[in-house]
């Protein structure tokens, strides 16, 4: 596909002479090929260069004990991986990611579905409502983390509000108490991301043809029966895509934890994640080889989960997108 | 469900509650910036009394904030342009050319959705270092473009596919080449999709933290998220000022988003439908 422009154009001319005779699949001319290469080449180059290649390099560096200076020389084979898998700090981080993953689905889906069902009615000001509940999603995690850590500290606004409404006995050290910290994190994550789920579900519901619920109403179905039998099943693809995004996001949680709990406290408060482990033990400690090995583990876990999910859950939804037109 | 034009009051009550919960912390940041530190210490959840402007004016008259706004703006605009231009070119190929390997190419980009920059961050840092781009904005921009491409392409391909074949045939009869068709017909027709992806890229870049954290070590080159973090640790006792700094730094993303909310939601759901 690396023909020079001139040659490609000539060939293109040749092929174009009897244009419509060839069936569409095989006979694409050189001019078309050149266009394909020129148009998609830059994107592919960028993507391979800055996404695929770094992941491959991580796999390579991960076999070395390497401080990041000069080419890696101290080949240690699978030592880094053995260390990672034996490190209780990593297993804790993995466990926290698991908790975040499950709780994100369990907490956000019902809340978001409830609000989407409520808002999916003929009400005034729906567009402004949608903008407002999307606000936390649009704000940077750094800002979210900074604000919530101020509010949740022992002398912060949350405890103050609890005391002023007579619930002072529930005031707590939300960020440092290991029994509470992960729940504080979940509270913040839910606050930030539930609006996205609401908006997504709402949009999905509005794509469901109204005739279906009207027909159900004619047949005597109650409101809840209609939602249960028609809206929810037809919302399936939206729900499955949302769950996929949520799962992948849960495995990658970094900003919030790193901002709120810093690089040292996260492990004692019980909120460390694989990504914070990677940054703290890799970059901050200067062990680049080790950090890369952690990246590989994180990548493999994400990929296995993503592939399994695509294979068993998303298949029906993405099939059309990947093979359409055939 | 025979209701008046206004619908069920319970719905409004629930919507108000949700909005209250969603906006409460944001208002806490903004209003907190109008308080003094002693007000915050004595009454952490109270309203400003009196309202003071000095936190905001201090931030706005200092050059740290504006330098970081400048850096963030350059990074976000360059990322947006790169993502949209490269994304629309590749999406055009994926949407309107028939060739072997097209499915594989689409799958390659779709797979990129699974791998946010977190996974590749350490080797990315090394790559950027080898390219001599550490501590420079291009060192942030190039990876951001690459990681923005999957979302862009997934959103744009259905958009470009939706343009009727008849328009393309008519253009061909009028002796318009495929590239001319891209330029004269496809781009104007896909403006809504371009805006959606552009805004997503802009906000993504404006908010991004991990990549700049690795690439930018020098305070002068900081983007706003790094700036917010540096500011809040540097002035950790000056809570009011941190709140002012923080609330000012979220304005552009909020403005952009509220202007284009419809397009973003439309684009996202278009992509979800596949």
Query: What's the distance, CA B137 to chain centroid?
Result: 17
pLDDT of amino acid A193: 92
pLDDT of amino acid B194: 87
Spell out which residues of chain B touch residue A281, defining contact as CB-CB under 8 Å. Answer: none
> Any idea of the CA torsion for B160, B161, B164, B170, to the nearest 10 degrees?
70
pLDDT of amino acid B267: 62
Please state which of the ranges A248-252, B149-153, B167-171 shows the lowest mean pLDDT.
B167-171
Q: How confident is the model at residue B239 (pLDDT cuts 50, 70, 90)?
A: confident
Burial of B239 from C-beta contacts in 10 A (0-12 / 13-18 / 19+)? buried
Please state which of the ranges A286-295, B88-97, B153-162 shows the lowest mean pLDDT.
B153-162
pLDDT of amino acid A91: 93
Helix, strand, or coil (residue A14): helix
Contact B23 A135 (CB under 8 A): yes
pLDDT of amino acid A46: 93
**CA–CA gap between residue A317 and residue B22 (Å, rounded):** 31
Regarding predicted confidence, which is higher, B64 or A23?
A: B64
Q: Which of B5, B153, B274 sits opposite A318 (nearest CB)?
A: B274
Q: How far is A44 from chain B (nearest CA, A)?
A: 8
Region B63-88: mean pLDDT is: 93
Q: Which of A200, A254, A259 sits opposite B272 (nearest CB)?
A: A200
Q: How confident is the model at residue A6 (pLDDT cuts 50, 70, 90)?
A: very low
Q: Which of B147, B182, B265 sits opposite A130 (nearest CB)?
A: B265
**CA–CA gap between residue B103 and residue B215 (Å, rounded):** 34
Q: How confident is the model at residue B102 (pLDDT cuts 50, 70, 90)?
A: confident
Q: Which of A43, A50, A207 sits opposite B90 (nearest CB)?
A: A43
Kindly report, residue by residue over A221-268, the tens digit of the pLDDT.
787 788 788 888 888 888 888 898 899 899 989 989 998 887 666 667
For A295, residues 6+ apart whose C-beta sits below 8 A from its C-beta are: A55, A58, A62, A278, A282, B119, B120, B121, B122, B123
Region A112-127: mean pLDDT is: 83
Contact A129 B19 (CB under 8 A): yes
Position A137 pLDDT exceeds 50: yes
Spell out which residues of chain A touch residue B179, defining contact as CB-CB under 8 Å. Answer: 35
Nearest-by-CA chain A residue for B211: A255
Regarding predicted confidence, which is higher, A87 or A24?
A: A87
Nearest-by-CA chain A residue for B257: A138
Q: DSSP code of A75?
A: B
Report the share of chain A in percent with pLDDT over 90. 23
Position B152 pLDDT exceeds 50: yes
**CA–CA gap between residue A104 and residue A242 (Å, rounded):** 11
pLDDT of amino acid A183: 93
Position A9 pLDDT exceeds 50: no
What is chain A's mean pLDDT, rounded? 81
pTM of the model: 0.84
Contact B120 A255 (CB under 8 A): no
Q: Are B33 and B55 in contact (CB under 8 A)?
A: yes
In this complex, how many residue pairs, one in chain A and one in chain B, have their CB atoms less than 8 Å apart? Answer: 291
Q: How far is A322 from chain B (nearest CA, A)?
A: 6
Please state which of the ranges A98-107, A123-132, B89-98 shows the lowest mean pLDDT.
A123-132
Q: Which of B114, B120, B254 sits opposite A303 (nearest CB)?
A: B114
Helix, strand, or coil (residue A162): helix
Position A11 pLDDT exceeds 70: no
Q: Which of B89, B161, B179 sits opposite A43 (nearest CB)?
A: B89
Nearest-by-CA chain A residue for B46: A157
> Any idea of the CA torsion for A123, A125, A127, A130, to the nearest 10 degrees?
-80
Per DSSP, helices labelled H in chain B are 9-32, 37-42, 54-61, 63-96, 102-112, 117-130, 137-161, 165-173, 178-181, 187-189, 191-207, 210-215, 224-234, 239-249, 251-273
Kindly report, residue by residue over B173-221, the tens digit of the pLDDT.
887 787 788 788 788 888 888 888 888 899 889 999 989 998 998 888 8
Nearest-by-CA chain B residue for A69: B126
pLDDT of amino acid A19: 47
Position B15 pLDDT exceeds 50: yes
Regarding predicted confidence, which is higher, A71 or B246?
A: B246
For B120, residues 6+ apart whose C-beta sits below 8 A from its C-beta are: A50, A51, A54, A55, A58, A295, A299
A interface test, pick of B39, B119, B271 with most A CB neighbours within 10 Å: B119
pLDDT of amino acid B212: 93
Fold of B74-224+250-273: MetI-like fold (1.10.3720)
What is chain B's mean pLDDT, rounded? 84
Regarding predicted confidence, which is higher, A21 or A110?
A: A110
Question: Is the peptide bond between B50 and the residue preceding it cis, with omega within 30 degrees of 0?
Answer: yes
Region A35-41: mean pLDDT is: 88
Helix, strand, or coil (residue B44): coil
pLDDT of amino acid A320: 46
Regarding predicted confidence, which is higher, A290 or A66?
A: A290
pLDDT of amino acid A235: 84
Domain-by-domain residue ranges, chain B?
A: 74-224+250-273
pLDDT of amino acid B141: 95
Regarding predicted confidence, which is higher, A72 or A280?
A: A280
pLDDT of amino acid A16: 42
Position A296 pLDDT exceeds 80: yes
**First-last CA distance in chain A:** 24
Regarding predicted confidence, which is higher, A217 or A11?
A: A217
B interface test, pick of A51, A162, A218, A236 with most B CB neighbours within 10 Å: A51
Position A100 pLDDT exceeds 90: yes
Tokens 């606000």 map to which residue? A135
Region A60-73: mean pLDDT is: 83
């Amino acid at each position: 596909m690396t023909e020079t422009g001139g040659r490609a154009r000539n060939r293109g001319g040749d092929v174009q002479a009897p244009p419509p005779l060839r069936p569409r699949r095989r006979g694409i001319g050189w001019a078309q090929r050149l266009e394909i290469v020129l148009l998609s080449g830059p994107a592919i180059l960028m993507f391979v260069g800055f996404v695929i290649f770094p992941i491959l390099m991580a796999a390579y560096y991960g076999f070395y004990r390497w401080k990041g200076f000069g080419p890696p020389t101290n080949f240690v084979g699978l030592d880094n991986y053995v260390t990672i898998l034996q490190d209780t700090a990593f297993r804790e981080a993995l466990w926290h990611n698991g908790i975040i993953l499950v709780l994100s689905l369990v907490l956000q889906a019902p809340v978001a579905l409830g609000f989407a069902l409520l808002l999916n009615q003929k009400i005034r000001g729906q567009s402004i409502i949608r903008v407002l509940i999307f606000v936390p999603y649009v704000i940077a995690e750094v800002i979210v983390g900074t604000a919530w850590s101020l509010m949740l500290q022992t002398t912060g606004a949350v405890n103050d509000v609890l005391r002023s409404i007579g619930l002072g006995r529930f005031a707590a050290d939300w960020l440092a108490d290991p029994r509470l910290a992960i729940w504080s994190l979940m509270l913040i994550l839910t606050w930030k991301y539930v609006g996205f789920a609401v908006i997504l579900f709402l949009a999905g519901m509005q794509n469901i043809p109204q005739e279906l619920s009207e027909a159900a109403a004619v047949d005597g179905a109650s409101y809840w029966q209609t939602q249960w039998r028609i809206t929810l099943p037809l919302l399936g693809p939206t729900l499955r895509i949302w769950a996929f995004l949520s799962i992948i996001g849960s495995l990658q949680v970094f900003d919030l934890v790193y901002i709120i709990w810093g690089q040292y406290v996260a492990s004692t408060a019980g909120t460390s994640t694989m990504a914070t482990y990677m940054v703290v033990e890799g970059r901050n400690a200067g062990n680049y080889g080790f950090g890369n090995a952690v990246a590989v583990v994180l990548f493999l876990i994400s990929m296995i989960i993503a592939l399994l999910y695509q294979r068993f859950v998303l298949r029906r939804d993405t099939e059309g997108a990947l093979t359409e037109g055939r | 469900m025979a209701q008046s034009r206004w619908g069920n009051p319970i719905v409004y009550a629930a919507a108000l509650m949700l909005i209250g919960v969603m906006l409460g912390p944001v208002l806490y940041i903004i209003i907190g910036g109008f308080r003094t530190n002693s007000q915050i210490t004595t009454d952490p959840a109270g309203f400003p009394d009196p309202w003071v402007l000095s936190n905001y004016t201090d931030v706005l008259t200092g050059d740290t904030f504006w330098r970081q706004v400048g850096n963030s703006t350059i990074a976000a605009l360059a990322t947006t342009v790169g993502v949209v231009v490269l994304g629309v070119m590749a999406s055009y190929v994926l949407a309107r050319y028939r060739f072997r390997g097209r499915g594989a190419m689409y799958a390659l980009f779709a797979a990129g959705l699974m791998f946010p920059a977190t996974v590749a961050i350490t080797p990315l840092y090394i790559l950027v270092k080898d390219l001599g781009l550490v501590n420079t904005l291009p060192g942030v921009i190039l990876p951001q473009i690459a990681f923005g491409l999957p979302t862009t392409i997934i959103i744009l391909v259905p958009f470009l596919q939706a343009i009727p074949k008849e328009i393309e045939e008519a253009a061909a009869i009028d002796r318009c080449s495929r590239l001319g068709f891209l330029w004269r017909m496809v781009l104007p027709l896909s403006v809504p999709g371009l805006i959606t992806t552009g805004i997503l890229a802009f906000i993504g870049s404006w908010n991004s933290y991990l990549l700049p954290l690795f690439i930018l070590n020098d305070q002068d080159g900081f983007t706003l998220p790094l700036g917010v973090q540096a500011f809040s640790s540097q002035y950790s006792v000056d809570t009011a000022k941190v709140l002012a700094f923080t609330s000012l730094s979220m304005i552009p993303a909020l403005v952009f988003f509220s202007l284009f909310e419809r397009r973003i939601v439309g684009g996202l759901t278009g992509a979800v439908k596949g």
